[in-house]
Amino acid sequence: MLSVSRAKELLASFTDLRLVVVGDLMLDRYLYGSADRISPEAPVPVVRVLRETCVPGGAANVAANVAALGARVDVAGISGDDADGARLAELLQRLKIDDSGVLRRDRLSTIVKTRIMADRQQVVRVDRDESLALDPEETRRFLDGIRDRVRCADGVILEDYGKGTLTQDVVDTVLLEIRPKPVPVGFDPRDNHELCLKGITLATPNWREALSAAGCHDGTRPAEEPTAECLDRVADCLMEKWAPRLLIMTLGSQGIYLAPREGPRQLIPTRAREVFDVSGAGDTVVAACLLALAAGATDVEAAEIGNHAAGIVVGKLGTAVCSPAELADSIAGRGTNVI
């Protein structure tokens, strides 16, 4: 079990680290309001909007989590040269995230997820996205920018939301650049199952993503329950497919399943007591775990830190981050959202 003193030692060392996050950038927009009547036009609630906020989403949220935990962070991705892209850039810069690795494209709309919230409940989510395919010159510039940042990094996170940023060329560029150095690379997957990822340190799928990547689920039926037998079977498949040093499957209310390349596997119970919003919880897990590994944590210590971090953010409304102080309190048993 992770001791409070060891946790504080690891958390303190986060400020000495610099991570690079590569992946699908998004802007998460929230419209908050109240709903006290049904529309006469259709059986849906009428939401009276009271306020609107925007936060970094997707890979940008991973970078925000890294920054909130005290480390320096660069982000590389693709956005549109539009108002939403400018808003995302402003948010990243306000968080002291280096966004010089972001390729801004003309005639491309920045990916935006708009969530309409009524009385702390999500009523609907509206997604706006389009293909992020680059032409050869754009690809060259994007890969050159990734190389420049990875050379100076203490860790890299590959964040895949299935929008097209994380191609095999991008993965190969990262893995080739870090090969001479013992730098951890984390992968947070979505539906991009054809990527060759041999050489990564950490993979953090949620249960549905793990089943899908293992070929056990196609999204057309309820996901199989994570029984002990099923967990082992899926872990065996993903360890062979991705060959990570460490596989962490997030299981929602059941916690996380830790499967190292060497050593025993174990289920670590959830640290969340109340769950208000799971948006971006996986982003928090990969950010906290990869930072911990870069700081010298063992696999189990990194998993514990990621588990506590997830327990904190799901107790908040909207796409959220956690601070080192919140993590320290949670590990010490003082957090308000800890069992």
Range of 114-128, 208-222, 266-280, 322-336 with top mean pLDDT: 114-128
End-to-end CA distance of the chain: 15
pLDDT band at 12 (very low <50, low <70, confident <90, very high): very high
- Tokens 């870090």 appear where? 178
- Per-residue pLDDT, averaged over 132-140, amounts to 90
pLDDT at position 219 over 60: no
The tokens of 141 are what? Answer: 């510039």
- Per-residue pLDDT, averaged over 254-280, amounts to 79
How distant is the alpha carbon of residue 145 from its chain centre? 21
The tokens of 93 are what? Answer: 């810069």
pLDDT band at 339 (very low <50, low <70, confident <90, very high): very low
- Per-residue pLDDT, averaged over 21-39, amounts to 95
Please tell me the least confidently modeled range out of 5-9, 148-152, 180-184: 180-184
Please give the residue that has the higher pLDDT: either 172 or 193.
172
pLDDT band at 253 (very low <50, low <70, confident <90, very high): confident
- Per-residue pLDDT, averaged over 111-118, amounts to 95
How far apart are the C-alpha atoms of 197 and 241, rounded to whole Å?
A: 8
- Per-residue pLDDT, averaged over 273-286, amounts to 72
pLDDT band at 264 (very low <50, low <70, confident <90, very high): very high
Please tell me the least confidently modeled range out of 49-53, 191-195, 227-231: 191-195
What distances in angstroms separate CA 27 from CA 20, 21, 139, 274, one per listed residue?
19, 16, 22, 26
pLDDT at position 273 over 70: no
pLDDT band at 107 (very low <50, low <70, confident <90, very high): confident
- When the pLDDT of each residue in the chain is averaged and rounded to a whole number, the result is 90
112-118: strand order across its sheet: 45-58, 25-38, 112-118, 121-128
pLDDT band at 320 (very low <50, low <70, confident <90, very high): confident
How far apart are the C-alpha atoms of 283 and 66, rounded to whole Å?
A: 10
Please give the residue that has the higher pLDDT: either 64 or 279.
64
Helix, strand, coil content of the chain in percent (nearest 5):
35, 25, 35
- What is the predicted pLDDT for the residue at 274? 59
Residues 45-89 have pLDDT tens digits of 999 999 999 999 999 999 999 999 999 999 999 999 999 999 999
202-203: strand order across its sheet: 98-105, 72-80, 18-23, 155-159, 185-188, 202-203, 246-250, 256-260, 266-268
Which domains are present in the chain? 4-25+59-107+133-331 (3.40.1190.20)
- What is the predicted pLDDT for the residue at 47? 95
How far apart are the C-alpha atoms of 7 and 10, rounded to whole Å?
A: 5
pLDDT at position 249 over 80: yes
- Residue-wise DSSP of 98-136: EEEEEEEETT-PPPEEEEEEETTEEEEEEEE----PPPH
- What is the predicted pLDDT for the residue at 151? 93
Region of residue 314 (phi > 0: left; psi between -120 and 50: alpha; otherwise: beta):
alpha
Task: Judge whether 283 counts as a catalytic residue.
Answer: yes
- What is the predicted pLDDT for the residue at 337? 44
Contact 252, 278 (CB under 8 A): yes
Catalytic residue (choose from 28, 98, 283, 329):
283
